[in-house]
Amino acid sequence: MVHTFFNPAQSQQSIMSKKNKSIEYTDGELFTQHAAVNDKKNVTAPQNYAPSPAPEKEETPEHKHNDGPFRRLMNENFLQYASYVIRDRAIPDIEDGLKPVQRRIMFSLHENDDGKFIKVANIVGYCMQFHPHGDASIADALVTLANKRYLIEGQGNFGNLLTGDPSAASRYIECRLTPLARNELFNDELTEFIPTYDGRKKEPVTLPSKLPLLLMLGAEGIAVGLSTRILPHNFPELLQAQIAILQKKKFTILPDFQHGGAMDTSEYDDGNGRVKVRAIMEKKDDSTLIIREIPFGSTTETLISSVEDAARKKKIKIKSINDYTAEHIEIEIKLAQDADIKQSIEALFAFTQCEMSINSHLILIHNNRPVEMTVSDILKYNTERLTHILNQELLLEKKRLLDELHRKTLVQIFVEHRIYKRIEECKTYELVQQAVLDGVNEHRDKLRRDVTAQDVEMLLEVRIKRISLFDINKNKQETDKILLELDKVEKNLASLVPYAIRYLKALHKQYAPEYPRLTRLDTFSEIEVKKLTEKQLTFRLDREKGYLGYDIEGEELFTCSSHDRIIIVWGDGRYKVLNPPEKLFVDDNMVYAAPFDRDHTMLAVYRDDVVTYMKRFSFGGVILNRDYSCIPDRAELLLFDAADPKELYVKYAKEKRQRINQQIFHPERIAVKGVKAKGLQMTVKKIKTISTKKPRNWDSEESTPRGAVMDFL
């Protein structure tokens, strides 16, 4: 298993590596400084860990000046702070899948668990003995855990994940452990404890959880230089995947969200990448849509707000939107009369929170360091840890049974052979102990281990009433029962993997009906946003006031999408590309406005000094909101046309001895160049009029030679 290590000291640089590529760091800063902060936690370096030597640097006067005591103090303190935030606050641990505040909350509930509901405020107060932060952070974390269903059962108003409603104050709500958490998360005999932040109590390093909590609950956290986002998964599916791992079979595990909805995982790769989630909506009639489920990461409030925002921007035509959500989500959207329902559904997915993209990046704490892993790696580790914990529990159970068997055998020997009679003549307590010890050692062959001083004390505490009522047959039956249980434990220890599989199957049988998959798997077709909104905005020109935009009254010019870019050309040859404006002053010198197409062929005729030029060109690439010019400085633009005409009709101002007074040019025969091209010379005559259509004053009987521009091709 290959993991990626992170060093918070590199937070000013790019610290994210490609998947399964290690990041090299020098002198073991993260481990060294973290160990200094958390030495009470007995932090040890991983096996085969050898810090690489720091490169030698030449001691220059400037270096000595920059490496002063204040700089060293800041660097050391920042590294300690970074290590603390990463390990002890923001990033969950792979061992039990919990952040420190969550672990302390669960331990507080365990310590106070009597099966009854407890005031959340009481748990928060108790947890503050372990957690060195304010009560608000603890209460918020507890409510979040309760809303994830698996570990904490709440009573009262714990808020609503779907609507975004907050919970009531912690003094008004109650909670307790769920049976799942009570049975599968705790075992004090297998828990390693350390002193709390003030040294007054003990808290667990990690909980001996037998559940894959990290993937069940999901997690989000932002630390110094890195962040994590682990999506929640379906609990029964995780159990099935663990069974497949133990059986050495292939498995696939995908996220599942409490919000429900539909999910496309085509861009999701074993915990990395992203998933797309969509709302589930149904058609009530030809003009009404009902949203029944919403995407993960949204609430009914934010979704409705996004729909209203899209309607204001004219991306979707709706008449009204109503929220009838109670126990289940019901958002009613009434469409405008001229709205197409199929197109409206696509617009809802394209422009509102009815479709959301959720990125996933798995960073977690493993061996006291942040590492990057995949979902499969985490689940395999959890499964390996499960077998280890089950093995430890079986060993504990074996020890308990052996101790119980030993105790019952001792009591039977003590009573059956009347060893208690020997203590009548003993004058000191030491002689009493020795008499009992010698007496039971005469029957050592019936015992599985040596008799200890504690065993002797136990026998001396046996009451006379119990001796007189001792039932040898009943004791033998109980002993036989213990032997059967012991034999069962021995068999489970000998075949640990089948035992783990049976354990997982029992969990799956119990909880699968309670936690069905809520998110449907689907593949979403790509929505052509530009085509969907190609007639979204109608641009008008107010010639009287000189304004252009889609939020004004005036002459209609064109329709476009809000995703289009608009190009505007003025009479001096200046042009600019910009996002569609609501209202823009363009004065009466504007000659062209349209959606921008960098490859569209344009025609320009301009006069520079005494020479008139003609060029066909395309604008090419531009920077938004930057002024450009399509003709040279001080030149005069005579004609600008985007229709790429086949003919130009030119009439010249009459001059003495001038033989040609009009000409027809053929622009289509000119090659298309870039916008900076000068173009080809048309004439040095003074042009009176130029148009793409034959003017009324055109003299059809006069000689009209072909434009001389052709001579330059």
Q: Are 641 and 692 in contact (CB under 8 A)?
A: yes
Name residue, tokens 């099935």. 240
More confident residue, 502 or 313: 502
pLDDT above 50: residue 47: no
| CATH, residue 99 | 3.90.199.10
Regarding whether 102 and 166 lie in a shared domain, the answer is yes
CA–CA dist 226, 260 (Å, integer) = 29
Regarding whether 473 and 335 lie in a shared domain, the answer is no
pLDDT at 23: 34
For the ranges 304-313, 421-430, 696-705, the lowest mean pLDDT is seen at 696-705
On whether residue 221 sits in a domain, the answer given is no
Positive or negative: CA dihedral 691, 692, 696, 701? positive
pLDDT at 585: 93
- Conformation bin of residue 42: beta by default, left when phi > 0, alpha when psi is -120 to 50: left
pLDDT at 65: 52
Last-in-domain residue among 353, 380, 407: 353
How far lies 183's CA from each of 106, 110, 163, 507, 510, in Å? Answer: 13, 11, 32, 11, 13
Total domains present in the chain? 5
pLDDT at 405: 93
Regarding whether 408 and 472 lie in a shared domain, the answer is yes
Regarding whether 453 and 570 lie in a shared domain, the answer is no
CA–CA dist 562, 567 (Å, integer) = 14
pLDDT above 60: residue 713: no
Tell me: the pLDDT tens digits for 377-405? 999 999 999 999 999 999 999 999 999 99
Q: Is 172 a catalytic residue?
A: yes
Beta bridge partners of 605: 614, 639
Tell me: the pLDDT tens digits for 510-550? 999 999 999 999 988 887 776 777 677 889 999 888 999 98
pLDDT at 313: 83
Beta bridge partners of 680: 614
CA–CA dist 343, 127 (Å, integer) = 53
On whether residue 571 sits in a domain, the answer given is yes
pLDDT above 90: residue 335: yes
CA angle 304, 306, 309 (to 5 degrees): 110
Regarding whether 58 and 196 lie in a shared domain, the answer is no
- Quick one: what percent of the chain has pLDDT higher than 90? 59
Q: Which is catalytic among the residues 49, 126, 172, 197?
A: 172
On whether residue 300 sits in a domain, the answer given is yes
pLDDT above 70: residue 28: no
C-alpha closest to that of 101 among 88, 110, 112: 88
pLDDT above 50: residue 662: yes
Regarding whether 700 and 585 lie in a shared domain, the answer is yes
- Which amino acid, one-letter code, is at 615? K
Q: Are 212 and 242 in contact (CB under 8 A)?
A: yes
What number is the average pLDDT over the span 93-97?
Answer: 93
Q: How many CA atoms lie within 13 A of 8 on its CB side?
A: 27
Which positions ≥6 away from 684 have C-beta within 8 Å?
610, 611, 612
Regarding whether 546 and 609 lie in a shared domain, the answer is yes
**b/e code 189-226 from CB counts within 10 Å (16+ = b):** eebeeeebeeeeeebbebbbbbbbbbbbbbbebebbbb
pLDDT above 70: residue 300: yes
On whether residue 273 sits in a domain, the answer given is no
pLDDT at 700: 78
How much is the mean pLDDT over the chain? 86
How far lies 189's CA from each of 72, 386, 426, 492, in Å? Answer: 43, 16, 40, 20
pLDDT at 466: 74
CA–CA dist 519, 280 (Å, integer) = 10
For the ranges 75-79, 374-378, 450-454, 667-671, the lowest mean pLDDT is seen at 75-79
C-alpha closest to that of 376 among 251, 255, 240: 251
CA–CA dist 708, 623 (Å, integer) = 36
- Token duo for residue 418: 């009347």
What number is the average pLDDT over the span 648-666?
Answer: 86
On whether residue 539 sits in a domain, the answer given is yes
pLDDT at 482: 93
What number is the average pLDDT over the span 76-92?
Answer: 76
Tell me: the pLDDT tens digits for 264-290? 999 999 999 999 999 999 998 889 999
pLDDT above 70: residue 332: yes
pLDDT at 191: 95
pLDDT at 57: 47
pLDDT at 34: 36
On whether residue 75 sits in a domain, the answer given is no
How far lies 467's CA from each of 20, 416, 470, 477, in Å? Answer: 68, 9, 5, 17
CA–CA dist 618, 564 (Å, integer) = 17
Q: What is the dihedral of CA 470, 471, 472, 475, to 10 degrees?
A: -100
For the ranges 160-174, 572-586, 595-609, 648-662, the lowest mean pLDDT is seen at 648-662
pLDDT at 468: 75
Regarding whether 677 and 592 lie in a shared domain, the answer is yes
Which positions ≥6 away from 583 have C-beta within 8 Å?
547, 548, 549, 551, 552
Q: Are 238 and 253 in contact (CB under 8 A)?
A: yes
CA–CA dist 598, 615 (Å, integer) = 16
Q: Are 216 and 235 in contact (CB under 8 A)?
A: yes
What number is the average pLDDT over the span 359-365?
Answer: 92
pLDDT at 490: 95
pLDDT at 472: 81
pLDDT at 74: 73
Regarding whether 492 and 539 lie in a shared domain, the answer is no
Last-in-domain residue among 170, 205, 240: 205
Q: Are 89 and 100 in contact (CB under 8 A)?
A: yes
Tell me: the pLDDT tens digits for 459-497? 888 887 777 777 788 888 889 999 999 999 999 999 999
Helix axes 100-111, 120-127, angle to 10 degrees: 110
Regarding whether 685 and 537 lie in a shared domain, the answer is yes
pLDDT at 536: 74
pLDDT above 90: residue 309: yes
- Conformation bin of residue 445: beta by default, left when phi > 0, alpha when psi is -120 to 50: alpha
pLDDT at 54: 44
The residue segments making up the domain with residue 667 are: 532-712
Regarding whether 559 and 495 lie in a shared domain, the answer is no
C-alpha closest to that of 228 among 87, 83, 363, 370: 363
Q: Are 321 and 307 in contact (CB under 8 A)?
A: yes
Q: What is the dihedral of CA 631, 636, 642, 647, to 10 degrees?
A: -120
More confident residue, 88 or 569: 569
What number is the average pLDDT over the span 207-221?
Answer: 94
pLDDT above 50: residue 182: yes
Regarding whether 554 and 691 lie in a shared domain, the answer is yes
Last-in-domain residue among 511, 543, 560: 511
pLDDT at 707: 61
How far lies 477's CA from each of 405, 473, 481, 482, 483, in Å? Answer: 11, 6, 6, 9, 10
pLDDT above 80: residue 584: yes
On whether residue 623 sits in a domain, the answer given is yes
What number is the average pLDDT over the span 221-247?
Answer: 93
Name residue, tokens 């904490």. 152
pLDDT at 68: 72
| CATH, residue 424 | 1.10.268.10
**b/e code 150-169 from CB counts within 10 Å (16+ = b):** bbbbbebebbebbeeeebee
On whether residue 82 sits in a domain, the answer given is no
pLDDT above 80: residue 78: no
pLDDT at 36: 36
What number is the average pLDDT over the span 9-31?
Answer: 36
Beta bridge partners of 290: 282, 332
For the ranges 44-48, 151-155, 643-647, the lowest mean pLDDT is seen at 44-48
Q: Are 589 and 568 in contact (CB under 8 A)?
A: no
CA–CA dist 632, 612 (Å, integer) = 12
pLDDT at 209: 95
pLDDT at 706: 67
